[in-house]
Structure formats: structure tokens, C-alpha cells
Amino acid sequence: MKQNRNEENGGPENDTAHRFHIEDGPGVQDAPPSARDGSVTSGQVGPKFNGHFSPSESPPISDAPDTPPPAREAPAPSGRSKYRPHSEQARFSDRLRREEEPPPGGDGGHSADGGGPSSDKKAARNDRRFEKSKFRTEKTGAKLDAAREKAAAQKPPKPNPAKNVAKKAAAGVWYYAHQKIHEVEQENVGVEAAHKTELAGEKTVRGASRFVKHRIQTRPARRVTKWERRDIRAKADFEYRRMAREHPELKENAVSRFFQKQRIKRQYQKQAREAAKQGARAAGKATTATAKIARAAAAFAKRHPAGLLIALIAFLLILALQSCMASMTTIGNGLIGAVGAGTYPSQNSDMLAAEAAYSGLETKLQSEADNYATLHPGYDEYHFNLDKIGHDPYVLISILSALHEGAWTIDEVQSTLSTLFGKQYQLTQSVQTETRYRTEMSTVTNPDGSTSTVTTQVPYTYTICTVTLHNEDLSHLPASVLTEEQLSRYAFYMKTHGNRPDLFPQSQYPNASVLEQYTDYTIPEAYMSDKTFAAMMTEAKKYLGYPYVWGGSSPETSFDCSGYVSWVINHSGWNVGRLGAQGLYDICTPIPASEAKPGDLVFFERTYDTTGVSHVGIYVGDGEMIAAGDPIGYSDITTSYWQSHFLSFGRLPSP
């Protein structure tokens, strides 16, 4: 029985038994053991129940959890089986009730006037919705007020003549730069593609910038519009629920509810429009007042033209002064930026330490080369083919500053120093073996007992070690270790020596380069009558004073000798691409010196350790050439140095 199962489960102390107490109602039949075990109970979620109730009856719930259930009554006689079909049994959720909830059909059941649990729940739900709607109305009203305050506090942009002048100057520079690129982009497909890509990118950036600025400027107004819409909806909903509370007949059907909400919403929209009209009328009044002030000012100007003229002149003077100050600021910022861009960014102590560390590596290398036979014994003969060890400290510091793109410390560049040293110097050895013979004398005893001396040639292996030290020259490395942008920065540093020409004086650093002004020369006007030569000189003179940069081939990276000549002729009517000195020699027709004329190329050999053509320049007549020395400038080719390396003149093919 049920009370026995409660006792088995722990009686009143059991949590489930404490919450629910089920009493057997009339007509309950004893279930068979299988039914009492609960094996056939369907959908049961609480304690197992073994009895059965008629669909019209519900088991009463005891008000006192500790009160034992009453004794089971005898089963009433019935004409049908005591086992009822599952479809006729009451659901378990209908049988179990909370202690506070009365069973259906009793005093707490549904009354005829609609009261009861479902009505109470519906009323509570409506109350919650009403409070929620009220809170939403208050929230949207506060948000709308805050948005209107922020919109009213927004200040219109002030005119800035100085800023406008600076913008116009920047636009002029931009237009000039792109115009120059457009003039030459047809000659090079890569330049044209890069230029078009740059223009597209700039257009995208400008469009995005304008869009973002517009969104920022209009954000307060957009937020006012947004919260006005939400406030109207919230007020309409709250007003409807308030009216529905006072007049329950409004809730009869969904159609009436919908039209009622729409009427309320239209009322609030009408109020919003009236408020907007009042604002427009206020603005019109303000405009009228402004017009009156303007008319009064015009009348004053008619009465006092001299005073107006003086005020206008004073205003223009102030505006001109502001423009001049803005221009001076722009020019000053440009000069400061140029000086800053060409100045070494690191501390003197770090730059001197880097130079000392690199020189220390060179000292160790020189010591190994001088003592190679001692350090690497075992060979019969040593041959040495050693390049001179040394570097320009300004080249080293310029490479480090361009590569690290900012201030650096000695600890940060230690690995870079090792990498550069390994690329500049290569110490190698090759071993050759020869079979040689030496004469050996031995004494032998003849058959007659006499002795004689026998001379024999004995072969042996003779080893020769050839040691080679190659110095690539540190100034040749930037073209292979730097990107184009970094190479441009390196060229700028070399042009100014980092604005520190006193950092490495030649008295202490004999390999340090010295900034030199290019040698100028006036080309006779008669030679400039040749249009082709005049075009070459117009382009060539643009880059006078640029530093020599190995591998450089553009104004951004500066030039080496062949890069300079290739650039000039490609922008003077030819299209030969980027050629080396040997490549330029190959496209020219060699001519004797007696036939050379301005515009021909002049070639030299053995100016450094290489085979074939090693230097090239443009002949300008009267024994002068313009070429990429250090820096780019004019040179007299009749000097002993150039004559000792002279190879040939060459005439370019027709453009």
C-alpha cells in the first residue's frame, strides 16, 4: 500500500514524500504487483503511484505533510474490470498538485464568472506586460532626451582659412607629382600599372574618409530620428495597455487591438509633426531676424562706406597673415621632416659601438690571414690571394639605420653585423697535390766485395694550399640586402651622412668617405642645338649631386653608373630597359675618339676588380662626361686616371 511505500522510502523525511501526499479515493482497486512496482506507468516524473482513479475524480492533497494518509476503503462493486484502459486514466500532472493549489472541482475550482487560477495568471501576465511597457516608455523617453541634448550641443564646423590653404598646397603637390608620373608612365608598363593601382587606392581611401566623416557628423541627428521612432512605438503600446486596463472590452479580438494601437500611434506621430512644425516656425523667426540684421548691416554700409572699406581691409590683412603663417608652418614642417629623415636615428654610443664591433671582426680576419700557415699547418707550400680588408663606416651605419627603420641599439644589430660581415668577406682555400721526386743515395756491396753509391729518384706527394680572401665591398651589399624602400632610405642617409659628418673623422677612420659637392660644368650652347642631346641633358641634370648607390636605378634609390645612364636614355627617347655597363656597351657601335660627339657613351675598364666594362658615362664634349661618381657630376676624362682605364666610345642606336 502507499503508506508502506512511504515508510520504505524513509517516511516523512523523504523529500518526495514530504512534498506530495496522495490519498486513495473511493473506487480504488488494489493493483497487481506489476502495477504496484510502477513498471507500466507512463510519463511519470514524480514518486511512483500504484493506484488508479476515475477520470472524474482527483486525489486530494493533504494539507499536512506529516499526517498519515487514511486507510484504504473497500473497493466498490463495479460491472467492469478493475484495470482501466490507459486512455481513461487521469494524467499524472492532473493528479499531483502543489500544497497551495486546490484540486479542480472543489472550492478553489473555476467559477462561473471566470475567476480561478487561469484568470489570476492572465491578470498577473497583463500586469507584467503593463509594467514592462511603462518601463520601455520611460527608457525611450530618456534616450530621446539625451539624443536631442547631444544634437543640440553639436557645434557646426568652423571655417579655417589656414587649413584650407594648406590643403590646396598639398593638392597642388599631389597633382604635380602625379602629372610627372603620367608623363613617363606610357614608357613602362610596370610604372603605369603601379600608378593606376596607387590612384585607385587613393580614391578608395578618400571615399572611405569622406564616408566616415559624414557618418560621424550626422550621428547625433540619426540617433534622434531612431529614438523618436522607438519612443512613438513605446508610448503607443503603453497607452493601449493603460486603456485596456480601464476598458477590458478593447481586448475582445485581435483586429480591434491592432486598430486601437494604430490609432494611438498616429496620434503620437501627429504630435511629433506638430513639434517639428513649431521648430520650423522658430527657425523661420530666427531667419527673419537674421535677414533684418543683414538689412540693417547693408544700410549701415551705405551710410558709412569708408568704415566698411577699412574693416574689410583689416579682415583681409588678418586673413593674409594667417595664410602666411600657415605656409611658413608647412614649409618649416617640411624642412624639419627632411632634416629628420636624413638624420641617423640612433645614439652616438650605439653607432660607434657598431663600428667598433665590425672593425673587430675585420681585425680577427686579418690576423687569421696573416697567420694562416701557423693556424692551418700540414701543407708544403702556401699561396695567398688576398683582397684588402676595410669598409666605409658611413656605409655600415646607413645600412643598419635603413634596415632597422628607426633607432637601434648595439645589442639589436649584433646578428645583422655578423650577416653583413659574412656577405662582405669570403675566406677560402683550395689544395693541389703534385707528385714530385727527390734524389736518394744509398751504398750497396758489389759481388766482389767492393761498395758503390747508387742514386735513385723517390716519388712523394707535394701539397700546395692557395688561400683566397674576397672583399665584396660593403657598399655593394645594399642592393642585395635591402628592399627598394629601404634602399631609398639608405641613399638619403649616404647623401647627408646622417647629418653627422663629424661622426667618423678620417684621422681616426681612414676609410670613411667625405661628403663632396659635385663638379659642375657649363655645356656650350652650340651643343644644345641637337634636340636629342638636349633632351638627355635635361634629364641628366635633374640628378646632379645624388650619391652613388651600387645597384641603384631610379631617383628613389639613387643610381650607380649604368643605372644612371639607363635611366637618362630611357627618358630621352630610347627604351632599352635597365642595362649594366657591359649591356650598354653591347648595344652601342664602337667609334674612335676622333669621331665622338656629345650624346655618345664613354666606357672604361678595370675601375674595380671585374672583367669587361666596369664604368660608363655620357660624353658631353670637350673631354667632359657626366656620370654617376660619388656624387653624380661632371668629370674630365683626359686625366691620367681615366685615360689609364679608358676602353672606347660608343654610339647609341637611333631612338
Let me know if residue 364 belongs to a domain. yes
Centroid of chain to Cα 469: 44
Q: How many CB atoms lie within 10 A of CB 55?
A: 12
DSSP state of 191: H
**Contact yes or no for 575/654 (Cβ under 8 A):** no
Q: Which three cell numbers stand for residue 122?
A: 492572465
CA separation for the pair 173, 103 (Å, rounded): 91
CATH number assigned to the domain comprising residue 557: 3.90.1720.10
Let me know if residue 387 belongs to a domain. yes
Cβ contacts of 144 within 8 Å, gap of 6 or more = 224, 227, 228, 230, 231
235/337 same-domain check? no
Q: Which of 562, 369, 402, 387 is nearest to 477 (CA)?
A: 402
Let me know if residue 496 belongs to a domain. no
Q: Which three cell numbers stand for residue 623?
A: 673631354
CA separation for the pair 627, 617 (Å, rounded): 4
Q: Which three cell numbers stand for residue 59?
A: 486525489
451-471 β-sheet, strand order? 381-386, 451-471, 425-445
Let me know if residue 53 belongs to a domain. no
Let me know if residue 625 belongs to a domain. yes
**Contact yes or no for 436/453 (Cβ under 8 A):** no
Parallel, antiparallel or unpaired: strands 451-471 and 381-386: parallel
pLDDT of residue 641: 93
- Asked whether the CA dihedral 508, 514, 515, 516 is positive or negative, the reply is positive
Centroid of chain to Cα 24: 78
327/213 same-domain check? no
The residue type of 123 is A
337/411 same-domain check? no
274/137 same-domain check? yes
221: alpha, beta or left, given left = phi > 0 and alpha = psi -120 to 50? alpha
pLDDT of residue 635: 94
Peptide bond into 117 cis (omega under 30): no
Cβ contacts of 560 within 8 Å, gap of 6 or more = 548, 549, 550, 551, 552, 553, 628
328/355 same-domain check? no
pLDDT of residue 294: 62
Our count of domains for the chain comes to: 4
Domain range for 219 is 132-145+209-280
Helix (H, G, I), strand (E, B) or coil at 503: coil
CA distances from 13 to 8, 45, 97, 249 (A): 11, 20, 20, 51
316/375 same-domain check? no
Cβ contacts of 92 within 8 Å, gap of 6 or more = 41, 43, 44, 45, 46, 49
- Residues paired with residue 438 on neighbouring β-strands, in sequence order: 458
CA separation for the pair 520, 634 (Å, rounded): 6
Helix pair angle (189-246, 254-303), 10° resolution: 120
Q: Mean pLDDT of successive 10-residue segments in the chain (655 residues)? A: 40 40 41 42 42 44 44 47 53 48 45 57 81 87 87 75 68 69 64 74 80 84 86 81 69 59 68 65 58 65 66 73 56 46 87 95 94 93 94 94 90 94 94 92 85 88 95 90 88 87 88 83 92 94 90 89 95 93 95 94 91 94 92 94 95 91
* CA angle (369 as vertex; 364, 370 as ends), nearest 5: 95
422/546 same-domain check? no
Write 603-609 long-range contacts (CB < 8 A, 24+).
Answer: 603/647, 603/648, 603/649, 603/650, 604/642, 604/645, 604/646, 604/647, 605/645, 605/647, 606/645, 607/645, 608/473, 609/387
CA separation for the pair 512, 505 (Å, rounded): 7
Main-chain dihedrals φ then ψ at residue 510, nearest 5 degrees: -65, -20
Q: What is the 3-state secondary structure (H, E, C) of 345-399?
A: CCCHHHHHHHHHHHHHHHHHHHHHHHCHHHHCCCCCEEEEEECCCCCCHHHHHHH
Let me know if residue 549 belongs to a domain. yes
599/534 same-domain check? yes
Q: Which of 111, 114, 134 is nearest to 122 (CA)?
A: 114
- Asked whether the CA dihedral 147, 150, 156, 162 is positive or negative, the reply is negative
CA distances from 578 to 141, 193, 505, 560 (A): 72, 18, 36, 11
Let me know if residue 323 belongs to a domain. yes
CA separation for the pair 472, 479 (Å, rounded): 12
Which value, in Å, is the radius of gyration of the alpha carbons in the chain?
A: 51
The residue type of 181 is I
CA separation for the pair 228, 151 (Å, rounded): 13
528/619 same-domain check? yes
324/353 same-domain check? no
Let me know if residue 489 belongs to a domain. no
Main-chain dihedrals φ then ψ at residue 429, nearest 5 degrees: -135, 150
240/363 same-domain check? no
523/631 same-domain check? yes
